[in-house]
Amino acid sequence: MIRSALGVAALGVATVGYASLIERRHWTLRTATLPVLPAGSPSLRVLHVSDLHMMPGQASKQRWVAELAALEPDLVVNTGDNLADPKAVPAVLRALDPLLALPGLFVFGSNDYFGPTPKNPMRYLFGRRQKWIGGVPLPWRDLRAAMIERGWLDATHHRLRLDVAGRSVAVAGVDDPHIRRDRYDTVAGPVTEPVALRLGLTHSPEPRVLDRFAADGYDLIMAGHTHGGQLRVPLYGALVTNCGLDRSRARGASRWGAHSWLHVSAGLGTSPYAPVRFSCPPEASLLTLVARPVAAEGARSGGSRAKSGAAADVS
């Protein structure tokens, strides 16, 4: 009996050690191919970076993110939660520096505006909503100014048009729904002019926001926030998503409605108060966007509106 208890305790210690010391630094590149462009279009490559939760001393994370520029994506998308410390802006900019030379877009999350705070892990794991309490204010304005100075575009509550590898891309974004800062009405309405891609951005993939992007005809919606569940059980998946999204979509690509795709990044960091990952390594994603099949293109031109109830997970 004592040996069994000691064995269980040793296994628990080993698991926590692996999750906190090894896996949370096992930087991983996820890849996916999504058929979201008009029939006959050449492909586009989009690098999705999210949830850095950067602390000033995280040198290996900074080096790995900077090396992603060697992938030479056509577009970089950052879906927020870059900061975890008031002094982390220089560290984030060191990580992003080579990527800032490429076309880029961003929206922010709650941990760009406010520092992390301790939370009861049991309430989190069992899905009990806690009143959101922000920590110390973070210097998001400094980070935003530096990104914009280098040429990235802030999509927060803006409708944008940009040229990506010779193709016209329409973009709309909202502020973080996790803390009720989203104001979708500021960007509402379908894109009526011809473009190669309609791209919607949000930090937290709340279904109420995803539904509106899909109803307005966005081809691809990109989000972060979930950390992929952060703790995943083999053959079961994510335990929680920390939002209204179902567990099966906690990371990766899935269909949302009849015509839209959703991509959720599991992100590259954790809260300093919960520095563990299990069966869910930190990641960035390289998405290859390709043309839709001709049959799908014809169905899309029919103009049916999407609802989340029609979604089918394919991640």
Residue 116 CB coordination number (10 Å)? 21
- pLDDT of the residue at 128: 54
311 versus 265: the higher-pLDDT residue is: 265
Q: For 68-73, what is the mean pLDDT?
A: 98
160 backbone dihedrals φ, ψ, rounded to 5°? -125, 155
- pLDDT of the residue at 24: 84
* Cβ atoms of residues 243 and 230 within 8 Å: no
Residue 190 pLDDT greater than 90, yes or no: yes
Angle between helix 89-96 and helix 140-149 axes, rounded to 10 deg? 30
**CATH code reported for the domain at 2-310:** 3.60.21.10
Positive or negative torsion for Cα 185, 189, 194, 196: positive
Residue 72 pLDDT greater than 80, yes or no: yes
Confidence of residue 134 (pLDDT cuts 50, 70, 90): confident
> What Rg value do the Cα atoms of the chain yield, rounded?
19
Residue 119 pLDDT greater than 80, yes or no: no
Mean of all residue pLDDT scores within the chain: 89
* Cβ atoms of residues 72 and 47 within 8 Å: no
182, HSE (Cβ side, Cα atoms, 13 Å): 24
Residue 12 pLDDT greater than 60, yes or no: no
- pLDDT of the residue at 126: 63
Instruction: Give burial (CB, 10 Å; 0-12/13-18/19+) of 54.
Output: buried
Confidence of residue 50 (pLDDT cuts 50, 70, 90): very high
Confidence of residue 124 (pLDDT cuts 50, 70, 90): low
- pLDDT of the residue at 110: 98
Strand partners, 47: 76, 286
Q: For 101-120, what is the mean pLDDT?
A: 95
Alpha-carbon distances of 42 from 10, 178, 262, rounded to whole Å:
53, 35, 21
- Separation CA 153–CA 77 (nearest Å): 10
- pLDDT of the residue at 123: 61
Confidence of residue 43 (pLDDT cuts 50, 70, 90): very high
Look-up of token digits 């193709």: 167
pTM above 0.85, yes or no: yes
207 backbone dihedrals φ, ψ, rounded to 5°? -55, -35
Q: For 44-49, what is the mean pLDDT?
A: 98
Confidence of residue 159 (pLDDT cuts 50, 70, 90): very high
- Separation CA 277–CA 259 (nearest Å): 33
- Separation CA 286–CA 68 (nearest Å): 9
Q: Where are the domains of the chain?
A: 2-310
Q: For 15-19, what is the mean pLDDT?
A: 46
* Cβ atoms of residues 26 and 280 within 8 Å: no
Positive or negative torsion for Cα 116, 120, 123, 124: positive
Residue 102 pLDDT greater than 60, yes or no: yes
- Separation CA 311–CA 255 (nearest Å): 6
Residue 7 pLDDT greater than 70, yes or no: no
Ranges 118-127, 170-179, 201-210, 288-297: which has the least confidence: 118-127
